[in-house]
Structure 1
Amino acid sequence: MLADARRSAITATVAREGVVRVADLAGMFSVSLMTVRRDIDVLDEAGLLEKIHGGAKIPGGASTHEPGFELKSTQALDEKEAIAAEAASIAQEGMAIGLSAGTTTFALAKLLCQMSGLTIVTNSVRVADVFHAAQAKLSVILTGGERTPSDALVGPIATSSVRQLHLDLLFLGVHGVDAQAGFTTPNLLEAEMDRALITASRKVVVLADHSKWGMQGISTIAALEDVDEVISDAGLGSEAQRVLRQRVGRLRLVPVPQRQTA
């Protein structure tokens, strides 16, 4: 593909998805990461997209754009699986565990299926389906509510059901992590639901790969200081590590396999 055609395709992809990662674009067009970065620089200078750390977004921000589950499930797969494996090591038999919606919590659900003696509370249709399909020896409670593009159940029915519960541990997926905005989501109702899950939980662990740093949704779920742990991957930048170590109870960084690039 010629450079002009590729850049047009990149612009169209950003317009459609709101936010894209360099690594995903490189795989999509079978070119090197450096080539994609050069393309993004050209398009950023032309005002056709906005360059961000590790990718590009719609110019002027996309704080209310909510990518669908299918798109998010193709991004940072190695990182999400490594983070999920670390998170699974925290779970213990007899716990009541909350799982928010998201592709990293979806990866975690596949691992928790192998355990027994857990009670899982989730507002994610996808997560609940994982346990049902595996016929896991667990008790699974799926909240009611209205469905979002990320297959989360939200709204007054969902939040009221969670407010009656007491959870030992919550694994929380987020759209973005920022030093000022904290943990955010592009969906106002999902933020309200996540806050209800946090209030119901004795311990809160955020699962967020390195690409989430610097991203902002329109609504803050929680400040950095409001969670007990963050599990991320070794690709997280040094400044992000410094901020999180200062302001979060504990930061865990997991190694991920090295990918080959074109």
Structure 2
Amino acid sequence: MDKNARRKEIEELIRERKELDVNEIKNRFGISSVTVRNDLIDLERKGVIQRLFGKAVLNEEKLEASFDETKIRNLTEKEKIGKYAANLIDENESILLYTGTTTLQIARFVDPSKRFIAVTNSIYITYELKRNTQNAKTVLIGGNFNPQTGATYGQEAVNQLNAYNIDKLFLAVDGIDAEHGITNDQPYETDINRAMIHKARKVIVVADYSKVGVVSFVNMGSIKEVDTLITDSRAPKDAVQRIMDKGVKVIII
């Protein structure tokens, strides 16, 4: 049975039974856990199901969210970047995930069995981590709420963040440029951006090709504060080279 036929049959089973256990799917179709996961991610992107730990549930009342998978630009590139970045999370680390559609993919592809602490200011990333991980501890930062991004910000958020020691920050941006550094288009979130960069021992920017060499509205930090950039093969080569010349490690997926 090919991939499309299998996914169609899985969808029909879930529509009929309302929910389906992951192990049952694995045994019924003779496929690996990774293949089951990819099939369910595809069905979730289409709005058919919601993935919960160990099972898939029919999405009878679709959650309205700014990060609707069907509306994310450059989703294929972001998924590849997110999958690679998720593998950089080490056992027992503390990580920061700043709100964004690329960092959301990290939460989707992280190893469900891995033990780590994830701190985030995104309600969507929190939701994804809670249903996709078994041993991770997730901390949602409080503070003011931006309904446009589903993120918290402000002095209360900064105060809470200042109490934590963070190994790695995975930072989504609207622009990264060798001269202008890292930028975004949300002026209200500048303080939390700066606090995250300050608290993390390592800053990893995750950005698809459309963000590389781009300068957005608000400055988040200088290029010297970035340790690693993970991007895709469509990123402008000249912009990538200028960023590398500033001492940033660039990983192209």
- TM-score scaled to structure 1, two decimals? 0.67
| Match runs of 1:71-110 below 5 Å | 73-110=71-108
8 A contact 2:155–2:191 mirrored in 1? no
Amino acid at match of 2:98: S
**Deviation of 1:189 (Å):** 2.5
Corresponding residue number in structure 2 for 1:139: 137
**Deviation of 1:115 (Å):** 3.5
Distance 1:192 1:72, change over 3 A: farther
Residues 164-209 of structure 1: CA deviation (Å, up to 9, x unaligned): 1110111011111223321111112212211101111111100000
- The SS at the match of 1:144 is coil
**Deviation of 1:71 (Å):** 8.4
8 A contact 1:177–1:183 mirrored in 2? yes
8 A contact 2:83–2:106 mirrored in 1? yes
Corresponding residue number in structure 1 for 2:229: 230
| Match runs of 1:3-82 below 5 Å | 69-70=67-68, 73-82=71-80
Corresponding residue number in structure 1 for 2:198: 199
**Deviation of 1:135 (Å):** 5.3
Q: Distance in 2 between matches of 1:120 and 1:82?
A: 20
Q: Distance in 1 between matches of 2:139 and 2:113?
A: 16
8 A contact 2:113–2:133 mirrored in 1? no
| Match runs of 1:143-162 below 5 Å | 143-148=141-146, 149-162=148-161
Q: Distance in 1 between matches of 2:107 and 2:202?
A: 18
- The SS at the match of 2:114 is coil
Residues 45-75 of structure 1: CA deviation (Å, up to 9, x unaligned): xxxxxxxxxxxxxxxxxxxxxxx54489520
Corresponding residue number in structure 2 for 1:170: 169
Amino acid at match of 1:198: I
**Deviation of 1:136 (Å):** 2.9
Task: Give the number of equivalent residue pairs.
Answer: 187
Relative CO higher for 1 or 2, CA cutoff 8 Å, sep ≥ 6? 1
Corresponding residue number in structure 2 for 1:211: 210
- The SS at the match of 1:203 is strand
- The SS at the match of 2:176 is strand
Q: Distance in 2 between matches of 1:192 and 1:171?
A: 16
Q: Distance in 2 between matches of 1:135 and 1:241?
A: 34
Q: Distance in 2 between matches of 1:209 and 1:72?
A: 17
Structure 1 gap segments, 5+ residues each: 1-67, 255-262
8 A contact 1:128–1:140 mirrored in 2? yes
Q: Distance in 1 between matches of 2:69 and 2:131?
A: 22
8 A contact 2:121–2:151 mirrored in 1? yes
Distance 1:201 1:107, change over 3 A: same
Amino acid at match of 1:218: F
Q: Distance in 2 between matches of 1:233 and 1:107?
A: 14
8 A contact 2:86–2:111 mirrored in 1? no
Structure 2 gap segments, 5+ residues each: 1-65
Q: Distance in 2 between matches of 1:123 and 1:72?
A: 23
* CA RMSD, 1 decimal: 1.7
